[in-house]
A = this chain, B = another copy of it.
Amino acid sequence: MNVNTNVVKKTQGRRKIAIKKIDNQNSRHVTFLKRRLGLFKKASELCIFTGAEIVILVPSLKRQHLFTFGHPSADAIIDRYVTRISSSLLSSSTTDEFNLQQNNQYYSHMCKDLEAGKKKKENIEEEKLVNIDDNNNGGYWWNEPIDTKGIDELEEFMVALENLKKNVTSRVDELC
């Protein structure tokens, strides 16, 4: 029987916490430190195990610092991200102006998932995962539809990216 085997526990160990913002500011900062490191470690492992490129940007909680993770380099991947937006704006201006909701769906989905907790799987048929398949066409991701929210104010500098795009395109011709 394992009822009260008189083992004196030194700590209570890890405990579950509610899926909400941590109230206590000190705990919140400690968690921010620990989990940010954990996130970067996970990213490192993903890079090593699969050869993936990853960029992570995390402003400090007071938005005074920027913690970055980048392999091979944050700039290289961000260049391509920005270039992709530029390309979309410059090439076809009307065709895919709408139904462009592929990006940033993960957060809202994850939030729903987390809030729901470990709900049973039979009643989550409406929670389809985003269906981004890796081989739907031969094009590159920066030519695909993008989310255009907040792009208005970016248009001005997007035009200036045209020259950069050529450099970037040649830089990523090596496929894995």
Chain A residues with a Cβ under 8 A of chain B? 17, 19-22, 28-29, 31-32, 35-36, 38-71, 73-82, 84-85, 103-104, 106-107, 110-111, 113-114, 132, 134-135, 138-142, 144, 147, 149-151, 153-154, 156-157, 159-161, 163-164, 167, 172, 175-176
Contact = CB atoms under 8 A, between A and B. Distances in A.
A114 to B, nearest CB: 6
Given A41-B110, A60-B134, A106-B68, A50 B28 contact: yes
A15 to B, nearest CB: 13
Contacts of A17: 49
Contacts of A53: 58-59, 63
Nearest to A81: B57
A125 B64 CA distance: 29
Copies of this chain, complex-wide, total 2
A70 B55 CA distance: 11
A74 B73 CA distance: 17
A84 B66 contact: yes
Contact of A48 (B20, B58, B176): B20
Given A43-B56, A45-B114, 8 more contacts: A39-B39, A39-B43, A61-B134, A63-B176, A64-B135, A74-B103, A75-B147, A157-B163
